[in-house]
Structure 1
């Protein structure tokens, strides 16, 4: 969706919520405010793609901070542009009664609900709209590669003492360079969720006294190591995520460095 409205037209509606409202849309002097309506809504990261906010989903399904929603009138003219707050909520106020269209699509994401919604605004009433979007994810685990073959066996333990993983690459859904960090859990696993399409690299640091295992040593991508490097900092290859791409797994095996007597 093209975002062409000048930010200089923004009017603050409340803490964390703002909307760009065209001057022609402001009620004329003497207009009765009770004859106007409003639209409240939210944009959320729909990780399981079912179009509903599922609190039970791992990590929850959070609101899409800074997602943009565009409002059109019945003639197809842009009326306003709202930016969601930290909870993914947005609001349009002082709307004359009539039919409007909202566009909640987000660049780099797949819509899991209708990306465009028609809403009938009525006097003194607030209508509610919800948009679901789905991004990609990159996850994996760190493990101790006891035999140094670059392939994780069931008997080899997770590396819970890992220093964590750093994701860098594409811009996030509101144009900021995406660099995130993730710690590993008690299973040695890490995860980056709700990613827009783009190219990403993941890096981590080898534990003291260890070196990274050889990369892509086996035919099964779910059990081999995906990181390379000759220094303590090791990186994955660049990963291209399509919009709404499913989970990409990047694992890191570490073997104890050889010692000499």
Structure 2
């Protein structure tokens, strides 16, 4: 079959058009890829200071990331850091970008920014903050050094506080199989808190400057401007805790009145080998606590805890003032509970303090003395009143006798005197 020239031309044109479209379609991804770029990296703690991310370096999860600025038009956007310490932006229009580290307040860094004109996958920023590390173990022989047979602890070690920029920080770490732990912190002010382990374990008395204070169970950590590595060890031992309770009531009397304030003056003696914060409870039926000493913190109407731990061999003195509400109150009773945040008192026979108390109504106590005093004072009171009311307008005191008798006697004496005078005169004449 013969084909015309026109048909041949049309066929060649269609084939050429199809080939061109195929070539354009095949070349489109390559062209688009050339017009796009990616920028990615991580924030990590450069423990060994070599400006490279190594196996021993940790990542800074979450928080401030980077600011990316297009150098051609000035457009700016920020990227946050994820849980793995990484940040990234993809399919950016091809340009030149300035990538800046936004976390230079809470950390120092050898790298503050970089410029990217093409895809960057290793835009890492090394950070230097504050590394707290140490050992947490049961120091069986008490020498301050962990031996291979000394058990590591498994309690979570926590650090809380504020970073240099004022943001809250709450970090935690669990010791490994060898008892070691490490916590990366920013610059700032923090408190490391030793965990309460139970099983009769308590912090041991410090033997070195690296040990946590056994009286408070905490360690202050302060880093102002330069990051460093700080050793903090947590040494535990099997404790024998014991508190002995002693005390008295004040005022000490045989009888108290309803509504009268009575103060229990109590001594909490640490006769054990570990610092403890005792808790006390009062059996005050028909009585009310109205005041307690400042070293106690109320945990209810009749239960209190000592604010600070008592060291072995030392004594804490506390006061509790109460008021009996009626005569049914017959016994003051105070008990130290014998449980100290994971420790148990090994001898609870000396944890109880109690005193029989006699309470009477106010009228029953005061009637007899009042009657006796009034009777004895009556004669004196009556005499004083008689003297005070006697007298006349001249202010002279009266004897209480009538003046008429004295007046008649005077008249008789005057008449007798006059008669004697006239008789004497008659005789002379």
Structure with the higher fraction of residues in strand conformation: 1
Q: Of 123, 129, 133, which aligns to 1:139?
A: 133
> Higher relative CO (CA 8 A, sep ≥ 6), structure 1 or 2?
1
Deviation, 1:240, is 0.9
Counterpart Cα distance in 2 of 1:141 and 1:172: 27
- Kindly name which structure, 1 or 2, has the bigger radius of gyration based on alpha carbons: 2
Task: Map 1:186-205 to 2 at 5 A.
Answer: 186-193=177-184, 195-203=185-193, 204-205=195-196
What is the alpha-carbon root mean square deviation over aligned residues?
3.5
- Asked if 1:94 corresponds to 2:92, the answer is yes
Deviations 1:159-180 (A, max 9, x none): 42442312222359995x3323
- Stretches of structure 2 that go unaligned for 5 or more consecutive residues are 1-30, 241-345, 350-429
Count of aligned residue pairs for this structure pair: 208
Deviations 1:4-53 (A, max 9, x none): xxxxxxxxxxxxxxxxxxxxxxxxxxxx9778433412123133221222
Q: Of 106, 109, 112, which aligns to 1:108?
A: 106
Deviation, 1:105, is 4.3
Counterpart Cα distance in 2 of 1:118 and 1:164: 42
Task: Map 1:173-212 to 2 at 5 A.
Answer: 175=167, 177-193=168-184, 195-203=185-193, 204-212=195-203
Deviation, 1:152, is 0.3
Structure with the higher fraction of residues in helix conformation: 2
Counterpart Cα distance in 2 of 1:189 and 1:127: 36
Counterpart Cα distance in 2 of 1:140 and 1:168: 17
Deviation, 1:237, is 2.6
Deviation, 1:117, is 1.1
Deviations 1:157-207 (A, max 9, x none): 6442442312222359995x33233222222222213x2111221221144
Contact 2:97-2:115 at 8 Å conserved across structures: yes
Contact 1:105-1:111 at 8 Å conserved across structures: no
Q: Which residue of 1 aligns with 2:414?
A: none
- Asked if 1:85 corresponds to 2:82, the answer is yes
The more displaced of 43-52 and 85-94 is: 85-94
Counterpart Cα distance in 1 of 2:164 and 2:196: 24
